[in-house]
Structure 1
Amino acid sequence: MDNQKYLVIAIGDFACQSARNLFDANIKNTKLYLCHHQSKALENPEISGKIQLDEDLNSITEYSIDDRDSLKALFDQNTGIVFLLTDPNEEWNQKATALLAQLAKGKNQLTIAILPELFKTGSMIPRDVNNLMPFIDASFHWDSKVLPSNVGKPSGHGKFASFAKRIIKSISEITHQSHPLPLEIQDLETVFKDSSEVFLGEGTADHENSAAQSVKNAFANKMKNCNKVLLFIQSGNKEVTMDEVGEMTDYLQSLFGETASIIWGSGMGHSSDYRIKTTIIASKQN
């Protein structure tokens, strides 16, 4: 897992502007690209990876990338997971996202879409997002309701970037652990299979006898009715015991119900900031 890489591509106006807040995320083995049809939108000195597609997705340039085969080479055998940040309200974004997702799936990459909903209203229904679904393994939707009604675009970009950063960093952390019981990309694929939406939550506990509390802190009401769940447990300043693992999985099962399928793994966080850190990824099925 040490050679595994993560590819993050921000597609279109909103995602490219939000990505300005992503380049300093310091996520191990991650390469960030901007994708747009206008060269001006790609002017960002901190982000070297750039993909320019024309309106019809025919012309492709990225310094050395000038044809479809070169673009396919981005999704090499070590890429593992591809994150696509895009706003499906724009038709070009959908087309470009579908193209990139299709290329990623052609190389058997796990493909995850991270979508903003800040500017969606009852009269602004996204165009047929289902066009993307055959090529997307999972989609995370930013809940814009957490923002006050007077939030403008600049703040929206930063908030969406924080949401995306949290998802990318959490998933990279749990799939990069080597002991004691790591999770594999195949475990994510199992949870994501046939999902309509995926949720992620994190929680920590700082003292002894608080294992279940870390699960409670990671759980969110929007996860109710999810029937596939991934639980990752990180030990902080002291290794989690098997009794604590049992307590956490039993409590998680009680939250999701007896019919929910739960996959769990564990790793070492080596942090003095917490005793236990819990990550929950839960999916709703189609």
Structure 2
Amino acid sequence: MLNEIMNFDIASNLGSIIKVIGVGGGGGNAVNHMYHQGIRDVDFMVCNTDSQALVNSPVPLKVQLGSALTEGRGAGNKPETGREAAIENIEDVKKILGANTKMVFITAGMGGGTGTGGAPVIAQAAKELGILTVGIVTIPFRNEGRRRIKQAVEGIAAMEIHVDSLLVINNERIREMYGDFKISDAFAKADNILATAAKGIAEIITVPGYINVDFADVETVMRNSGVALMGTGIASGVNRAIVAVEEALNSPLLNNNDILGARNILLNITSGSEEITMDEIGEITDFIQEKAGNSADLIWGNGVDEELGDKISVTIIATGFSTSSIPEMVMNKSQEKTYHTLSDEVHENKHVEKTEVKASIENELYGSKNVKQKTFEFEINTSVFDEFEELYGNHPKKESYSEVNEPVDYAQTSEEAVDELENIPAYRRKNLRFNGFKKKVEEKFSRFSITPDENNSVTLRDNNSYLHDNVD
């Protein structure tokens, strides 16, 4: 029975040049959602180590990964097991990809076992076949734990090496937007965002328009382009053009990022029964160029979808970034730690000459933003620190007693010793010479005083009334 589950038939109709592959549980759920939603002229495939998940998938193209290694029981949240499982059955995947495939989307939820370990292996195989390879991956919710996030960061780094372009979607951003949703509805939103990413890119190629964007245009923008940012917006009404493009740039796909610094931008504008005007197209393209810094190469196309009615849809793909522009990738890198022991000597800085304050804005987006920095420099009066150091610095403690030059023999308690101490002066016991006391020289004071008389004449008196011999 197990062998029958794991040996899936490979479909013979492999004619589409675009394929979407879901790897692991998260990627498989996203592809199942895309399959039900429908994307024109695209083939879907799911790859998993969990045979039960493959049985429950409505997608016709299925590849069991690691049938001998895991025996259909999953990778156990171990990326290395997922990697080995993908290597075991990589030839089955190549057989499907080798049939007229020009572009492949590989979607996976990073942080687990099969998707984290297996998706980079499949991406490497696709790129070696010369296929334009686009990765669409998710970063876990924060409450999924540090280990899972760490594994996700490592998996994304591996994906970046083996894909032409990489779209990274942060589930935490989805939680911020739909936190009050039921868990099934919240995960459905996550799957829908992944589907929007694949659908938005694929239908730029497959849906015809007046100004057509074909596979060659998409390849120009996305081949070896690094991290890509994508957004889509739909709006109606008087200002529908500006509202739609602003919504696209605020899309959860962008994870709060802007497109400043993008090298290439692919723009697709689709309208319904109320066709878009040239002025509206000008508003959209001017707005995007301004946000990109007026330095990006812009390729745009126009299509028609009657289901939109009076609405217009704007899809933006900006490329030319790196994973260093993803805050989660930077924040989760291991930081060097410095350890101090109690025995270490602490060195304090006595002077602070300059203090530099940098006003930097944490860019929570996947793009990079030029921020002007202001530096304030001022001198600190160091004399205050010098006085403090003099008063409270690390000086040796001053003893309040003088040193004893000779040890005292406390055992000397005889009566003879006591008599000696009482009757013999200290200078004789110390054998010091004493020449007697010097007599005090009697000081003589003059008793004369000079005072004015009654006629204001100066008189010299021989008896100063203020000086007398009586003791008070």
What is the match of residue 218 of structure 2?
A: 188
- Is residue 233 of structure 2 the alignment partner of residue 206 of structure 1? no
Distance 2:169 2:104 in 1: 18
What is the match of residue 125 of structure 2?
A: 103
Return closer, same or farther for 1:98/1:49 CA change in 2, 3 Å cut-off.
Answer: same
Return closer, same or farther for 1:125/1:152 CA change in 2, 3 Å cut-off.
Answer: farther
- TM-superposed CA distance for 1:105, in Å, is 1.7
Return closer, same or farther for 1:204/1:153 CA change in 2, 3 Å cut-off.
Answer: closer
Q: Secondary structure at the match of 2:267?
A: strand
Return closer, same or farther for 1:281/1:38 CA change in 2, 3 Å cut-off.
Answer: same
- TM-superposed CA distance for 1:77, in Å, is 5.1
Distance 2:313 2:180 in 1: 34
Q: Secondary structure at the match of 1:74?
A: helix
1:235 to 254, 266, 271: 271
Alpha-carbon displacement from aligned partner over 1:179-214 (angstroms, at most 9, x marks no partner): 311112333333334544322222234245643333
What is the match of residue 173 of structure 1?
A: 203
Distance 1:208 1:156 in 2: 32
Distance 2:267 2:57 in 1: 38
1:119-158 equivalent positions in 2, closer than 5 A: 119-120=141-142, 122=146, 124-126=149-151, 127-144=154-171, 145-147=173-175, 154-155=184-185, 157-158=187-188
Return closer, same or farther for 1:19/1:128 CA change in 2, 3 Å cut-off.
Answer: closer
Q: Secondary structure at the match of 2:194?
A: helix
- Is residue 244 of structure 2 the alignment partner of residue 222 of structure 1? no
User: Is the 2:18–2:103 contact (alpha carbons within 8 Å) kept by the matching residues of 1?
Assistant: yes
Deviates further, 258-267 or 188-197: 188-197
- TM-superposed CA distance for 1:275, in Å, is 4.1
User: Is the 1:5–1:78 contact (alpha carbons within 8 Å) kept by the matching residues of 2?
Assistant: yes
User: Is the 2:26–2:109 contact (alpha carbons within 8 Å) kept by the matching residues of 1?
Assistant: yes
- TM-superposed CA distance for 1:74, in Å, is 0.9
- Is residue 58 of structure 2 the alignment partner of residue 46 of structure 1? yes
Gaps of 5+ in 2: 1-14, 70-83, 251-255, 323-472
What is the match of residue 396 of structure 2?
A: none
- Is residue 310 of structure 2 the alignment partner of residue 280 of structure 1? no
Greater fraction helix:
2
Return closer, same or farther for 1:90/1:45 CA change in 2, 3 Å cut-off.
Answer: closer
One-letter amino acid matched to 1:138? S
One-letter amino acid matched to 2:306? H
Return closer, same or farther for 1:19/1:253 CA change in 2, 3 Å cut-off.
Answer: closer
Alpha-carbon displacement from aligned partner over 1:47-103 (angstroms, at most 9, x marks no partner): 22211121433543xxxxxx82x4322114533321112133235434421222122
Q: Secondary structure at the match of 1:73?
A: helix
Provide the aligned C-alpha RMSD in A.
2.9
What is the match of residue 64 of structure 1?
A: none
Aligned residue pairs: how many?
Answer: 277
- Is residue 299 of structure 2 the alignment partner of residue 263 of structure 1? yes
Alpha-carbon displacement from aligned partner over 1:109-163 (angstroms, at most 9, x marks no partner): 2212121223355553122533222321222222222215687864554232111
Distance 1:213 1:21 in 2: 28
User: Is the 2:109–2:140 contact (alpha carbons within 8 Å) kept by the matching residues of 1?
Assistant: no
Return closer, same or farther for 1:272/1:146 CA change in 2, 3 Å cut-off.
Answer: closer
User: Is the 1:175–1:183 contact (alpha carbons within 8 Å) kept by the matching residues of 2?
Assistant: yes
What is the match of residue 90 of structure 1?
A: 112
Distance 1:260 1:226 in 2: 8
User: Is the 2:174–2:190 contact (alpha carbons within 8 Å) kept by the matching residues of 1?
Assistant: no
Return closer, same or farther for 1:168/1:224 CA change in 2, 3 Å cut-off.
Answer: closer
Gaps of 5+ in 1: 61-66
Return closer, same or farther for 1:36/1:237 CA change in 2, 3 Å cut-off.
Answer: same
Deviates further, 11-20 or 274-283: 11-20
One-letter amino acid matched to 2:20? V
Return closer, same or farther for 1:194/1:59 CA change in 2, 3 Å cut-off.
Answer: closer
Greater fraction strand:
1
2:23 to 8, 11, 33: 11
Q: Secondary structure at the match of 1:147?
A: helix
1:106-117 equivalent positions in 2, closer than 5 A: 106-117=128-139
Return closer, same or farther for 1:45/1:256 CA change in 2, 3 Å cut-off.
Answer: closer
What is the match of residue 247 of structure 1?
A: 283
Task: Flag the structure with larger Rg.
Answer: 2
Return closer, same or farther for 1:31/1:194 CA change in 2, 3 Å cut-off.
Answer: closer
Distance 2:26 2:39 in 1: 21
Return closer, same or farther for 1:86/1:211 CA change in 2, 3 Å cut-off.
Answer: closer
Which structure would you say has the larger RCO, counting Cα contacts within 8 Å and 6 or more residues apart?
1
User: Is the 2:268–2:315 contact (alpha carbons within 8 Å) kept by the matching residues of 1?
Assistant: yes
Distance 1:166 1:217 in 2: 14
Q: Secondary structure at the match of 2:97?
A: coil
Give the TM-score normalised by the residue count of structure 1: 0.82
